[in-house]
């Protein structure tokens, strides 16, 4: 007996289910639309999660943004020992927090000390700038980082979405 060939309708249904499943697993996708929150987009149209992943991949090519959350009370992600040159800075921390907001559709607040927890003891810690070699890679291959993304850091290491909106409005431009 010959095996039965799937009908076009069955094949289409399988393709739709596979597509939805793949999209559901892509942690660089936002829960909100880009037009709802332009705070997430850079000049290349990449959202915060895509920017964060591309920045981290400059040092750690296999890095994939995880599903972020703060359920444990800790930062949504931490700087790993393998990619310290790309993540041991406030720019990566800010992108991680923006990515959390992008993924969840919420406007998170991270308490004092969250930035230090994110750094995870990495060294050297850079503030308001990237490592020179990483900055050169970013300039040549992306992601396109905006000036205001460099300027976000609360002295106590907290993070507040509402304050970030104010920083974005106050400092425009691209690096």
pLDDT one-digit tens code per residue, 30-82? 887 655 566 678 888 899 999 999 999 999 999 999 998 877 677 889 998 88
Q: 65-77: per-residue pLDDT in tens?
A: 999 887 767 788 9
pLDDT score, position 80: 86
pLDDT at residue 35, as a whole number: 52
pLDDT of residue 136: 96
Minimal CA–CA distance to 75: which of 30, 113, 25, 47?
A: 113
* Count of Cβ atoms closer than 10 Å to residue 125 Cβ: 14
Q: Which H helix or E strand runs over 84?
A: helix 84-87
Q: In the structure, what pLDDT confidence band is assigned to residue 123 with cuts at 50, 70 and 90?
A: very high
Residue 143's pLDDT is 93
Taking the C-alpha atoms of residue 81 and residue 52, their distance in angstroms, rounded to an integer, is: 17
The answer to whether 82 touches 58, Cβ cutoff 8 Å, is no
CB 89, CB 126: distance < 8 Å? yes
| Top-confidence residue, 167 or 172 | 167
pLDDT at 175 over 70: no
pTM, whole model, 2 decimals?
Answer: 0.79
Angle of the 90-104 helix axis to the 48-57 helix axis, nearest 10 = 140
Give how far the C-alpha of residue 30 lies from the chain's centroid of Cα atoms, to the nearest Å.
10
Maximum CA extent, the chain:
74
């Amino acid at each position: 007996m010959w095996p039965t060939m799937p009908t076009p309708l069955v094949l289409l249904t399988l393709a739709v289910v596979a597509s939805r499943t793949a999209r559901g697993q892509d942690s660089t996708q936002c829960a909100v639309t880009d037009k709802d929150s332009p705070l997430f987009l850079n000049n290349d149209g990449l959202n915060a999660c895509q920017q964060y992943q591309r920045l981290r991949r400059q040092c750690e090519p296999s890095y994939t943004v995880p599903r972020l959350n703060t359920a444990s009370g800790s930062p949504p992600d931490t700087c790993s020992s393998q990619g310290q040159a790309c993540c041991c800075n406030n720019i990566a921390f800010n992108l991680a927090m923006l990515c959390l907001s992008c993924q969840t559709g919420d406007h998170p607040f991270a308490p004092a000390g969250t930035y230090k927890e994110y750094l995870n003891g990495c060294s050297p810690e850079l503030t308001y700038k990237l490592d020179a070699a990483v900055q050169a890679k970013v300039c040549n291959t992306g992601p396109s980082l905006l000036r205001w993304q460099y300027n976000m850091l609360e002295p106590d290491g907290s993070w507040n979405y509402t304050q970030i909106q104010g920083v974005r409005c106050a400092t425009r431009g691209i690096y």
